[in-house]
Structure 1
Amino acid sequence: MKNEYSSYLSQTAKEIQPSGIRKFFDLAASMEGVISLGVGEPDFITPWNIREATILSLEQGYTSYTANPGLLELRQEICKYLYNRFSVQYNPGNQVIVTVGASQAIDLAFRAIINPGEEVLIVEPAFVAYAPLVALAGGKPVPVSTSPENGFKVTPEQIEAAITEKTKALLICSPNNPTGSMLTKDELIELAKVMEKHDLIVVSDEIYAELGYDETFTSFAAIDGMYERTILINGFSKGFAMTGWRLGYIAAPVEFVEAMLKIFQYTTMCAPHMLQIGAVEALRNTYHEVEEMRKSYQRRRNYMVQTLNEIGLDCHTPGGAFYVFPSIRSTGLSSEQFAEELLMAEKVAVVPGNVFGESGEGYVRCSYATSMQQLQEALKRMQRFVESRKMVLQG
């Protein structure tokens, strides 16, 4: 063996950076008394009926492999759900794959469609995994930056300006992580015109579809002309409070699914049998709980936005997900400086906005997927920190 292990590593693996989110999670976990607003995870426990169905499945011995794309029963329920909730119709026999989380679904999508050097447009600020997953598939991630002046929503003109002869696809997440922005049906229609004009594929991450507040969520696949060119990504983590279950799914035209299924067969085989049974129960009998969670998040969102603006951190009102993305420019600190100093001074963990792309610099992501009591205390501490920074700036 050589002493220098890096010589054995692929160039891609060496160039990919560790998650900036994990850095702050790990630091916060090593301290006592920290209130974390960094975790993109529901604070609710998975509803009991889902857990009970899964426990029963174990007792009954459902511990074998399933079919590669997942239990047919679950794929049927996914298709019913997508049709009843979002008016998109898929065939459970050949248009759905149950994956190990939505992140794996995105990974499969990129590996199935990207040739070396092809470009994928990524609307930023964006979830930290998107660009690395494009790179791992041999593609080139191309950021398309948004701004608070437009509610962190991408425009057709911005997409047009970013397209080159190498552009293959657009990756979009609505509601968005980290900004919470949610595109309206009319806005999606305008983006769809650009997709059709340039014959592009759309990878639509809709994992926060159940967490829209002020307007009705619209799936990109439901827009006229987009069904044939959209790879729809969704899952159970956010809306159903099932993050640790690692269950996601892909719904797409048959040709896309066939290509992704070949990769999935060789890399994973199938998602865990007993967890898929729990997901069947989630889709059949958990809508009341999902709605109650959504209402709770909406109350917390309203409180967070109002209070952050009152303490001097300008914050737009997000349309969905469970994040706010306030500006911290008034403090004179960079995003990383703000996050580090806030953690050390007041023991509140937030995620610096720059980890979500260059356009996130000057902002931090705060998750309101925690109790109102914790949010109130966290914002008191943040107010103290902001006031101390004002005193420093005033000399």
Structure 2
Amino acid sequence: MKYAAITERLADTGGAKWAIHQRCREMKAQGADIIELTIGEPDQPPDPQLFEVCHQSMLAGRTGYSSGRGEPELLEAIAARYMRRRPDVDADNVMCFPGTQTALFATMMGLTGPGDGVLVGDPFYATYEGVIRASGAHRESVPLRPENGFRLTAGDLEAAITPQSRVLLLNSPHNPTGAVLTAEEIASIGAVCQKHDLWIVADEVYEELVFDGDFASPFDSPDLADRVIAVSSISKSHAAPGFRSGWAVGPHEFCERLLPLSETMLFGNQPFIADMTAFALNSDLPTSARMRQSYKHRASLFADRLEKLEGMTAYRPQAGMFIILDVSGTGLGGEDFAWRLLQAGVAVMPGSSFGDNAGKLVRLSLTVPDESVVEACDRIARFVEGL
């Protein structure tokens, strides 16, 4: 039987990247004692008020079909959030989606097609390859260098641009490295994108998890308003990944053109989840602040201990829920290191899941209790010392 070309384009972008995580879950189900540091799933629950709002909304009958663009109250709540950053924003700049992943997929399908190039910093989040390839576009890697703190530079971006380049997929705060771009760096990157007439798709899902200093975004610049689409969700900011509630915010014309695609895929998110999301965005909840404090502390616990091990380099994150290690000094690449460490009772993600430029890295999640971080460090130390 014949299948569509998209199935071939995405054939090697799925579960293989998460093989260690899947194997970890299988081993744990069989009784193995493994500390799981693979995925970025917040270890604290959403604020109880979100459950109550969701529950009351369902009881009130908010279980029918949604608007294709998004529920009006949620559109207004998202618009108000971004209006504080750029006063020209209104609800017509907003599209609602089930999570950031769906927003990225729809956005890339709306901006790119076969033969187009999408520039992305390498290392990059594991699912970016799929959302780029889905439309027939291809990835154009821009190196994120350790000596630059893994922050994208305007010079490296310009050097990577080709005649096929159409979009810059920008992630700050960055997964997997935790790097955060400054306003000055973003201004320089924006100037390059203006010069070469590139769209900027800004994945800002970790916006609320910057440990110190300010968050900066190309969305905030009026000069870039016609070319920037910001995507985000409540998955990380409100510790609610399973609710699948996200959005894209961009120019009016972008939203109008994307609406038929969105309506073909889905009709917004569920009304009761939309009500909960609007409440979350309109409320001053302590969830993000608690996570910021916890993740910054755990990153220091990991770095303080592991950077003392021979052959290991720890890169302290500026934001997010991960820390990365360069393990090449141990004589192993990231893939071998991660698989062998799994047998020692710690599951981490190999850098090879995050691009061509990350083969000597591993990524550790900060979403386990402090005592598990300490025990993981003990197990990693024993493993490294035994190599």
Find out whether 1:284 has 2:282 as its counterpart: yes
Provide the secondary structure at the position in 2 that maps to 1:350: strand
Q: Which moved more, 1:18-27 or 1:94-103?
A: 18-27
Find out whether 1:369 has 2:363 as its counterpart: no
Q: 1:195 corresponds to which letter in structure 2?
A: C
Spell out, residue by residue over 1:247-274, the C-alpha distance to the aligned partner (whole angstroms, 9 max, x if none).
1100000111112111010111221111
- Match runs of 1:165-244 below 5 Å: 165-244=163-242
Find out whether 1:13 has 2:3 as its counterpart: no
Report how many residues are paired. Answer: 380
Distance 1:384 1:360 in 2: 24
Q: CA deviation at 1:224?
A: 4.5
Asked if structure 2 preserves the Cα contact closer than 8 Å seen for 1:235 and 1:247, the reply is yes
Q: 1:71 corresponds to which letter in structure 2?
A: E
Corresponding residue for residue 78 of structure 2: 78
Asked if structure 2 preserves the Cα contact closer than 8 Å seen for 1:353 and 1:361, the reply is yes
Q: CA deviation at 1:200?
A: 0.7
Corresponding residue for residue 159 of structure 2: 161
Q: 1:115 corresponds to which letter in structure 2?
A: G
Distance 2:299 2:187 in 1: 27
Provide the secondary structure at the position in 1 that maps to 2:162: coil
Corresponding residue for residue 248 of structure 1: 246
Q: CA deviation at 1:88?
A: 5.9
Q: CA deviation at 1:39?
A: 1.1
Find out whether 1:297 has 2:295 as its counterpart: yes
Corresponding residue for residue 333 of structure 1: 332
Distance 1:215 1:296 in 2: 17
Asked if structure 2 preserves the Cα contact closer than 8 Å seen for 1:95 and 1:253, the reply is yes
Q: 2:165 corresponds to which letter in structure 1?
A: T
Corresponding residue for residue 392 of structure 1: none
Q: CA deviation at 1:42?
A: 0.7
Q: 2:4 corresponds to which letter in structure 1?
A: S
Q: CA deviation at 1:284?
A: 2.0
Asked if structure 2 preserves the Cα contact closer than 8 Å seen for 1:122 and 1:131, the reply is no
Provide the secondary structure at the position in 2 that maps to 1:90: coil
Q: CA deviation at 1:15?
A: 4.2
Asked if structure 1 preserves the Cα contact closer than 8 Å seen for 2:38 and 2:347, the reply is yes
Q: CA deviation at 1:55?
A: 0.9
Provide the secondary structure at the position in 2 that maps to 1:234: strand
Q: CA deviation at 1:286?
A: 4.0
Distance 2:199 2:37 in 1: 34
Q: 2:276 corresponds to which letter in structure 1?
A: G
Spell out, residue by residue over 1:335-378, the C-alpha distance to the aligned partner (whole angstroms, 9 max, x if none).
1110100001x211000001111101100011101211111111
Q: 1:9 corresponds to which letter in structure 2?
A: Y
Provide the secondary structure at the position in 2 that maps to 1:325: strand
Distance 1:88 1:387 in 2: 56
Corresponding residue for residue 39 of structure 2: 39
Q: 2:40 corresponds to which letter in structure 1?
A: G
Distance 2:319 2:259 in 1: 31
Distance 1:88 1:321 in 2: 27
Spell out, residue by residue over 1:307-330, the C-alpha distance to the aligned partner (whole angstroms, 9 max, x if none).
221234211221111111110011
- Match runs of 1:351-390 below 5 Å: 351-389=349-387
Q: 1:91 corresponds to which letter in structure 2?
A: D
* Structure 2: stretches of 5+ with no match in the other structure: none
Which 4+ stretches in 1 moved above 4 angstroms?
none
Find out whether 1:120 has 2:102 as its counterpart: no
Q: Which moved more, 1:127-136 or 1:352-361?
A: 127-136
Provide the secondary structure at the position in 1 that maps to 2:142: strand
Asked if structure 2 preserves the Cα contact closer than 8 Å seen for 1:88 and 1:221, the reply is no
2:271 to 270, 273, 285: 273
Q: CA deviation at 1:123?
A: 0.9
Q: Give the fraction of aligned pairs with identical amino acids, expressed as a percent.
A: 29
Q: CA deviation at 1:9?
A: 2.5
Find out whether 1:131 has 2:125 as its counterpart: no
Provide the secondary structure at the position in 2 that maps to 1:210: helix
Spell out, residue by residue over 1:285-310, the C-alpha distance to the aligned partner (whole angstroms, 9 max, x if none).
24323212222222112222222212
Corresponding residue for residue 30 of structure 1: 26
Distance 2:112 2:8 in 1: 21
Find out whether 1:324 has 2:315 as its counterpart: no
TM-score by length of 2: 0.95
Spell out, residue by residue over 1:59-118, the C-alpha distance to the aligned partner (whole angstroms, 9 max, x if none).
22210112111111111111222233x4465211x1111101101101111111113211
Distance 1:88 1:202, change over 3 A: farther
Q: Which moved more, 1:18-27 or 1:190-199?
A: 18-27
TM-score by length of 1: 0.93
